[in-house]
Amino acid sequence: MFGLRRKNRNQIIVLADWDNLMLNCKIPSPDRLSIIEGFDQLVRQLAKVGEILNIFVFGPPQAVNLELEDFRKLGIYAIPCPKIKDKAGQETDTVDQTLIEFGKKAISQIPNLTHLCLASGDKDFIPLLREAMRRGLKIIIVAGSISSLSAELIPLADKDPATGRKMILTFSPSKEENP
């Protein structure tokens, strides 16, 4: 899964909170929804920064299972995160916790990794981003929409050396209209 890569090129791992992205992205109409097009657009943008090693999507089983066929076509790893019951019998979401734990392991084990791309506007991921920064990684953030992006995440995104702008992107899973 985490093989050896070329040393001289930027290398990116993408960790996505699927529900956060999909609940906050703008889709003009259901007939234009295209997960494949959304990820193709994202990959094209990230490829300008460097090589994408892997994309991992975390979400509730029912949410990621709906898109498994598309994820497979795109080479994206879907990681279902079921709710668990606590001692009081209350169901607890595990997406954030699973993504953070996985992310911390990944950034410590992938040789020559240069960038962590977090696809979520949720401030709960700040500890993961800070850990990545301590390890010298550059941060790219993808949000469903700019308005859904936590203001606390914005300062953590690095600037693109080519443009001088913060590396903050939006996810748009919609088909482009034919001219």
CATH of the domain at 86: 3.40.50.1010
- Tell whether 153 is covered by a domain: yes
- Please return the burial class of 13, using the count of CB atoms within 10 Å of its CB with bins 0-12, 13-18 and 19+: buried
- Tell whether 64 is covered by a domain: yes
Sequence-distant (6+) residues with CB within 8 A of 124 are 96, 100
pLDDT tens by residue, 38-92? 999 999 999 999 999 999 999 999 999 999 999 999 999 999 999 999 888 899 9
Residue 74: closest CA among 29, 41, 118? 41
Which residues, in sequence order, are bridge partners of residue 84?
92
| pLDDT at residue number 57 | 98
Cut 0.85: pTM above it: yes
| pLDDT at residue number 33 | 83
- Tell whether 66 is covered by a domain: yes
- Tell whether 2 is covered by a domain: no
pLDDT band at 174 (very low <50, low <70, confident <90, very high): confident
**3-state SS, residue 80:** strand
| pLDDT at residue number 8 | 63
| pLDDT at residue number 28 | 66
- Tell whether 5 is covered by a domain: no
| pLDDT at residue number 178 | 42
| pLDDT at residue number 3 | 47
- Tell whether 1 is covered by a domain: no
Could you say which DSSP state residue 163 is in? T
- Tell whether 179 is covered by a domain: no
| pLDDT at residue number 69 | 95
Residue 61: closest CA among 73, 36, 78? 78
Q: How far apart are CA 80 and CA 176, in angstroms?
A: 29
Position 124 pLDDT exceeds 60:
yes
Q: Quote the number of domains for the chain.
A: 1
| pLDDT at residue number 4 | 46
Q: How far apart are CA 13 and CA 7, in angstroms?
A: 15
Chain-centroid distance of CA 43 in Å reads 11
- Tell whether 4 is covered by a domain: no
Domain extent for 102 = 11-170
In 10 A of CB 115, how many CB atoms?
Answer: 22
Q: How far apart are CA 143 and CA 73, in angstroms?
A: 23
- Please return the burial class of 89, using the count of CB atoms within 10 Å of its CB with bins 0-12, 13-18 and 19+: exposed
Position 10 pLDDT exceeds 50:
yes
